[in-house]
Structure 1
Amino acid sequence: MEQGITVILVEDDAPTRDFLAAALAGGEGIALLAAAGTLAEARAALERARPSVLVTDLKLPDGHGTDLIREVRRRHPETEIMVISVLGDEVTVMEAVRAGASGYILKDARPIDLITAVRDLMEGRSPISAAIARHIIRRVHAAPAEAAPEAPAAAPPLLTSREMDILWGIAKGFTYNDLADRLGISRQTVPSHIKNIYRKLEVNSRSEAVFAAVEMKLIKLSE
């Protein structure tokens, strides 16, 4: 945070792109590295620089934003990814989360909300619009009913006690600093533990980790 937050923005509509770019550039401590209008432009920008945060639309003229999310999550796992889109249906939302998005906000958000969301991502939170959160909660509640009754239950992945502590913290929305302070560990070790959790749960983002942990009955959201 002391060195500032660098952002690459991907939005195909030029007026909207200019509006969002101006909002991001006006945020204290935020540096906008590039504002791309296509997947090709976004990929070129990502070759030139590795941002702290990728803010991307989903519906692009030369492809879909989820493809870019998967690429960035695979090649630059330390980059935080947030979707900002008019698409708020459950299928699209869950696809983006599974691809690796850690945040998802709708385009009705005010400029200050976007800046706050970017900062929240860097603090370890997952900014999600209320309508999007409802989709995820519905999927969590529906998961037991959707499971085939005859399928044998797979053994849950073996997480260490430290990883379970951090998983609980993720579910409760704690920041990296919160987790470090509460668990008495260094701030730098928290991302390493989180990456181990992602690997064991076979997920790519905090939102997906919580979703998977609930499905596997590792945690309960009501607790």
Structure 2
Amino acid sequence: MTEANGNEAAPATGDIRVLIVDDQVLMRLGFRMVLEAEHDLTVVGEAGDGASAVALAAELKPDVVLMDVRMPGLDGIAATRQIVTADPSCRVIILTTFDLDDYAFGGLRAGASGFLLKDARPAELMAAIRGVAAGDAVVSGRVTRRMLELFGERLPEASDGVEDDALVGLTPREREIFLAIAEGLTNSELAQRFFLSESTVKTHVGRVLQKLRLRDRVHAVIFAYENRVVAQG
């Protein structure tokens, strides 16, 4: 395994390969200790700045990148954009000390699959990593709705006729699911609203994302507002 500091590390054995990016050595060490205690997670490298993160992501091909945003040189948002552009299968989780700040939102717009506060509990961190590795997004319905409340003024308002153009190709049920995703509903909430099993909901969500060529449900929400599919309340 290669690290930004040049030190060698033990061979990777876990199923999910993780790259840690943070300019604070102690923060990286803390994340490493927590992750390496899990049998299915392996830290394949560390980087202390965005440029190193981009280089290591290209070299090591991690499944998930834990990305700090405020770093010297290339920041986490720019690094996220470059990593995701080069390898769309790589999932990035933005790490921030501020709940729902410009950096977190910018990271999502750059292609991250979610964001997490640095003081999140270990169980939350593990669930986030495993979730994005499985193709989910790490932003709860509550957080999604709050994000749109804070930044909705940057997005266009709904107008007649745009919805049909944006959602062409979706079945009526898929359209209903998509609009509910845009409200920030979780899979369990979708299941309750439409009287479906969660497995059926997951199937519908997967088809919606595939047809609209979206990475995950977070970007489905952003897509909905940017394309004026739903009005900002």
Per the shorter chain, which TM-score range? 0.7 to 0.9
**Residue 118 (structure 1) shift:** 0.7
Q: Which runs of 5+ in 1 are unaligned?
A: none
Matched, 1:113 2:121: no
**Residue 179 (structure 1) shift:** 9.1
**Residue 60 (structure 1) shift:** 1.2
- Say how many residue pairs are matched: 207
The TM-score with structure 1 as length reference comes to 0.73
Aligned counterparts of 2:141 and 2:31: Cα–Cα separation in 1: 20
SS in 1 for 2:80: helix
Aligned counterparts of 2:232 and 2:135: Cα–Cα separation in 1: 18
Aligned residues of 1:39 and 1:63 also touching (Cα < 8 A): yes
1:209 is matched by which residue type in structure 2?
Answer: A
1:77-92 correspondence runs (5 A): 77-88=88-99, 90-92=101-103
Match of 1:194 in 2: 209
Aligned counterparts of 2:102 and 2:58: Cα–Cα separation in 1: 30
Q: Which residue, out of 165, 170, 175, partners 1:160?
A: 170
**Identical columns (%):** 22
**Residue 70 (structure 1) shift:** 0.8
Match of 1:20 in 2: 31
1:174 is matched by which residue type in structure 2?
Answer: N
2:219 is matched by which residue type in structure 1?
Answer: E
Alignment RMSD (CA, Å): 3.9
Match of 1:59 in 2: 70
Aligned counterparts of 1:72 and 1:179: Cα–Cα separation in 2: 35
Aligned residues of 1:106 and 1:129 also touching (Cα < 8 A): no
Q: Which runs of 5+ in 2 are unaligned?
A: 1-13, 189-195
**Residue 114 (structure 1) shift:** 0.9
The TM-score with structure 2 as length reference comes to 0.70
SS in 2 for 1:59: coil
SS in 2 for 1:47: helix
Aligned residues of 2:170 and 2:208 also touching (Cα < 8 A): no
1:118-129 correspondence runs (5 A): 118-128=129-139
Aligned residues of 1:104 and 1:129 also touching (Cα < 8 A): no
